[in-house]
Amino acid sequence: MSYLNVTEVDAAVVSLSTAYPALSQLIELPEPSVEGVSCHALRMSSNPSGTRDCAVLIGGVHAREWGSCEILVHLAADLLEAYSTGTGLGYGAAAFTSTQVRTVLDGMDLVLFPLVNPDGRAYSQTVEAMWRKNRNPAYSGGNPACTGVDINRNYDFLFDFTTTFAPTAGVQVSADPCDYQVFHGPSAFSEPETRNVRWLLDSYPRTQWFVDVHSYSQDMLYVWGDDDDQSDDQSMNFRNTAFDGLRGIADDTAYREYIPKDDFDTATTLAQQFCQGLHGVRGVTYTPKSGFNLYPTSGTSDDYAYSRHIADPGKSKIFAYTVEWGKEFQPRWTEMEHIIKDVDAGLVQFFLSALQPH
pLDDT for 250: 96
Edge-first strand order for the sheet with 287-290 is 24-28, 40-44, 109-113, 54-58, 207-215, 319-325, 219-222, 287-290
Residue 357, pLDDT > 80, answer no
Instruction: Judge whether 147 lies within some domain.
Output: no
Instruction: List the CATH number of the domain containing 256.
Output: 3.40.630.10
Instruction: Judge whether 181 lies within some domain.
Output: no
Instruction: Judge whether 286 lies within some domain.
Output: yes
pLDDT digits (tens, 9 = 90+) for 49-93: 999 999 999 999 999 999 999 999 999 999 999 999 999 999 999
Burial of 127 (0-12, 13-18, 19+ CB in 10 A): exposed
pTM, entire model: 0.97
pLDDT for 282: 98
What's the rounded mean pLDDT across residues 213-237? 97
Instruction: Judge whether 232 lies within some domain.
Output: yes
What's the rounded mean pLDDT across residues 288-296? 95
What's the rounded mean pLDDT across residues 246-272? 97
Instruction: Judge whether 148 lies within some domain.
Output: no
pLDDT for 164: 97
> Of 298, 110, 66, 76, whose CA–CA distance to 200 is shortest?
110
Q: What residues have CB less than 8 Å from 236, skipping those under 6 apart?
A: 230, 243, 255, 256, 257, 258
pLDDT confidence bin for 320, thresholds 50/70/90: very high
Domain carrying residue 223: 6-131+190-354
pLDDT for 358: 62
What's the rounded mean pLDDT across residues 34-49? 96
Instruction: Judge whether 348 lies within some domain.
Output: yes
Instruction: Judge whether 175 lies within some domain.
Output: no
Distance CA 9, CA 7 (A): 6
Instruction: Judge whether 163 lies within some domain.
Output: no
User: What is the identity of the amino acid at 20?
Assistant: Y
Our count of domains for the chain comes to 1
